[in-house]
A and B are shown apart, each in its own frame.
Chain A
Amino acid sequence: MEKTPFTHGLALDKDACIGCSHCMKACPTQALRVYDGKATLMPDRCIDCGNCFKACPTRAIYVKQDDWNDIFNFPCRVALIPSVFMGQFPPEITVSRIYSILKELGFTHIIETESAVPIYTAAKNKYAAEHPNIRPLISSFCPAIVRLIQVRFPGLVDNLIPIKAPIDITASYIKRKLMKEGDYHEEDIGLFYITPCAAKIAAVKSPVGEEKSLIDGVINMDTVFNQVYKRIKMQGKNYKEQKLPVSQLSADSVLTSLTNGERRLSNAHHSYSIDELHNVIEFLEKVENDEIDDVDFLELRACDQSCPGGILTCDNRFLIAERMFARARKLADRERRGEQAKDHELEEERTFLMRNIKVGEIKPRSMLILDENTSKALEKMTKINEIRAMLPHTDCGACGAPDCDSLARDIVCGNAELSDCIFIQRNLEARGNMSSDEATKILEIIWGSQKVNEFVKKK
């Protein structure tokens, strides 16, 4: 089992947290608790899906990012942009205009991360052909899904396709290309990824199955969007743009980060694409039980509509997806007229990229295991069942845990008390085993003195 907790993209600002527990209820891996009036994150359980970020009413949960000025530490500053970024802007804003603004903002080179899709797809299909006994194969495109499988479905870890994501392939391509052209040394080149979500940050800061990412920094998509959009507004309505050569992707590549994007390019006979974490969890339970026959390939994405639903995107996910479709339709028309997409440039380096395309072993790190020792785990499990039988199963969350099952587990693991449950407290009070002051004290420990003073002790 992999022991070291990975670096997370999500973080919590305790000062901004009002202890409302909305995040705790939204978390699909029960990774949050409320203690002393503040949310606390259990790093081993968090998969960086961002559901808590969406649920937080005070922006206490935020997405960490590198300082924009870090890019100026490098003479050569490459922006690695996922094509979902282009979908943030209204159709009249051309890709070329976005590129030129990014250059004004300080980047020297721009490449879309989906440039590597043709090679990524070839590598996945090759892996599928070489491993006919592993089915279903699961795409590792979405880093939140990789982490979900590690912590909740450890038995399916071997089904993940151990191929680098397009972003990593594109990163090694562009670095190699710039060095080959001879203008820059390796240390002169800074690769910066503009991310639509927290999971991709975790993937860069602490890649699964790899030592270190090639990417030097991550900047959040909303931050970049604000900068670019401000310039667009400053340019005004009558702005005449100078056409800039853009790295023209194929239609297939533009669509990859949308739901169905990988599935439509897969050779698999039977495949499914499933988006949104709860849908994915429901489906994986069935896959784990072998209840679904004849599945060759699964494209699983943590967000509804896939990357357009990322927590750092700047518009409605359906609008973003449609803009990406519109761009893909235009590109497909061009392809039909015989213009070749520029992402074929990567073909020059196909041998090199294919040689380095695999990630190392993806290890399970189950959050579910109660104890390494099965006998001890069984004892704990028995205790948990005894405690569960005593709890009301209202899942009210007043104990600071998301549901009664989690409280039972926390109690047995020594992180909570049975008397944290308000039903148990009333029972103890009714039997004369707990004073009203003691019950209030427990509330204070969980929800903080401020809330208790404001709502309980108020005269």
Chain B
Amino acid sequence: MHLEYQVYEADFVNAGSASSAVKKTLKQLNINPKIIKRVVVALYEAEVNAIAHAYGGTITADIEPDRIRMVVADKGPGIPDIDWAMQEGNSTASPEVRDMGFGAGMGLPNIKNNVDKLNVSSTVGVGTTVEMEVMFV
């Protein structure tokens, strides 16, 4: 099953609506609640990233009987050094964004801790694509 959502820059009010919608679907599929929680936490984090650090983007989720694949593709400043950004505490967030309480450098590591596969690709000045996969069993 294919699900698709749009998120918009600085639309903090609606942050979490895509992850909530995915959660609502997964809860009907007899998937272990603990696994659902990992999916939701990772997707929520990526969703907020696209809203807070980029200029919005597209979220897709493909659900198969044994796994979910999620792609959050944003249009934004991009991440120059992904390996560096994957480490806890490192952040590329601007001072303005940090002032809002984001940019603690926990986002990507938190995603990594909750998914089975993670691939982050980015082009500076174009945007970042976060691909995540979580197995159901």
Binding site for B on A (CB under 8 A): 154-157, 285-286, 288-291, 364, 366, 368-375, 377-378, 381-382, 385
Contact of A377 among B23, B30, B66 (CB under 8 A): B30
B41, closest chain A residue (CB): A290
Extra contacts besides A289-B20, A290-B41, A368-B27 (10): CB < 8 Å: A155-B36, A290-B40, A366-B27, A370-B28, A372-B30, A373-B30, A374-B29, A374-B31, A374-B66, A378-B29
- Cα separation A378 to B136 with both chains bound (whole Å): 13
Query: In the complex, which residues 17-59 of chain B have their Cβ closer than 8 Å to any Cβ of chain A?
Result: 19-20, 23, 25, 27-31, 33-34, 36-37, 40-41, 44
- B1 to nearest A CB, angstroms? 5
Asked if B95 CB lies within 8 Å of chain A CBs, one says: no
Q: Is the CB of B30 within 8 A of A369?
A: yes
- State the 5 A-B residue pairs at the shortest beta-carbon distance, nearest first: A155-B33, A375-B65, A377-B29, A369-B30, A368-B27
B34 A374 Cβ-Cβ under 8 A: no
The CA of A58 and the CA of B99, in the complex, are separated in Å by 57
Q: Which A residue sits closest to B137, measured CB to CB?
A: A374
Nearest CB in chain B: distance from A2 CB, A: 14
**Known A155-B33, A368-B28: A374·B41 in contact at CB below 8 Å:** no
Q: Shortest distance in angstroms between A153's beta carbon and chain B's nearest beta carbon?
A: 9
Known contacts A374-B29, A381-B1; A288/B65 CB under 8 A: no
Instruction: Report the separation of the CA atoms of residues A289 and B34 in the bound assembly, to the nearest whole angstrom.
Output: 11
Q: In the assembled complex, how far is the CB of residue A29 from the closest CB belonging to chain B, in whole angstroms?
A: 13
With a cutoff of 8 Å between Cβ atoms, the chain A residues found around residue B105 in the complex are none
B85: interface (CB < 8 Å): no
Dominant SS at the A interface? helix
Least distance between A396 CB and chain B CB atoms (Å):
22
Complex: A155 Cα to B33 Cα, angstroms: 5
| Selected contact of A371 from candidates B27, B30, B40, B41, CB within 8 Å | B30
Q: Does B63 contact A (CB under 8 A)?
A: yes
A377 CA to B64 CA, complexed, in Å: 11
B77 at the interface (CB under 8 A from A): no
Q: Is the CB of A374 within 8 A of B65?
A: yes
Residues B63 and A378 in contact, CB atoms below 8 Å apart: yes
Q: How large is the interface on B (under 10, 10 to 19, 20 to 34, 35 or more residues)?
A: 20 to 34
Complex CA distance for A373 and B25, rounded to whole angstroms: 15
Instruction: For B66, list chain A residues within 8 Å (CB).
Output: 374
- The complex places the Cα of A228 from the Cα of B74 at a distance, in Å, of 68
B21 → chain A closest CB, angstroms: 11
- A285: nearest residue on chain B (CB-CB)? B20
Nearest chain A residue, comparing its CB with the CB of B64: A378
Measured between C-beta atoms, what is the minimum distance from A188 to chain B in Å? 46
Of the candidates A155, A289, A290, A381, which one forms a contact with B29 in the assembled complex, judged by CB atoms under 8 Å apart? A381
A374 touches B19 (CB 8 A): no
Query: Cβ of B16 and Cβ of A291 under 8 Å apart?
Result: yes
Contacts of A366 in B (CB 8 A): 27, 30
Q: Kindly identify which residue among B28, B34, B37, B40 contacts A369, using a CB–CB cutoff of 8 Å.
A: B28
State whether A364 touches B33 (Cβ < 8 A): yes
Contacts A/B (CB < 8 Å), 21 sampled: A155-B36, A157-B33, A285-B20, A286-B16, A289-B20, A289-B40, A289-B41, A290-B37, A291-B44, A368-B27, A368-B28, A369-B28, A374-B30, A374-B136, A375-B65, A377-B28, A377-B30, A378-B1, A378-B63, A378-B64, A382-B1
Q: How long is the Cα–Cα vector from A286 to B27 in the complex, in angstroms?
A: 15
Question: B32 — nearest CB in chain A belongs to which residue?
Answer: A155
Which of chain A's residues have a CB closer than 8 A to the CB of B37? Answer: 155, 288, 290
A290 to B136, CA, bound (A): 19
Q: In the complex the two chains form, what is the Cα distance from A372 to B63 in whole Å?
A: 16
**Which residue of chain A lies nearest to B48 when distances are taken between CB atoms in the complex?**
A291
Which single member of A156, A371, A375, A381 contacts B25 (CB below 8 Å)? Answer: A381
Which A residues lie within 8 Å of B20 (CB)? 285, 289
Q: Are B25 and A289 in contact (CB under 8 A)?
A: no
What residue of chain A has the Cβ atom nearest to residue B15's Cβ? A291
Bound complex: CA A368 to CA B24 (Å): 9
Instruction: Among B16, B19, B23, B65, point to the contact of A378 (Cβ < 8 A).
Output: B65
Instruction: Give Cα A289 to B20, complex, Å.
Output: 7
Check B40 against A288 for contact (C-beta < 8 Å). yes
A370-B29 contact given A290-B41, A290-B44, CB 8 Å threshold: yes
Contacts of B29 in A (CB 8 A): 369-370, 374, 377-378, 381
Taking CB atoms, residues of chain B closer than 8 Å to A285 are 20
User: Once bound together, how far apart are the Cα atoms of A291 and B12, in whole Å?
Assistant: 12
A168 to B119, CA, bound (A): 53
Q: Which of chain B's residues have a CB closer than 8 A to the CB of A382?
A: 1
**A377→B37 CA distance, assembly (Å):** 19
B86 to chain A, nearest CB (A): 21
Residues from chain B with Cβ under 8 Å of A385 in the complex: 1
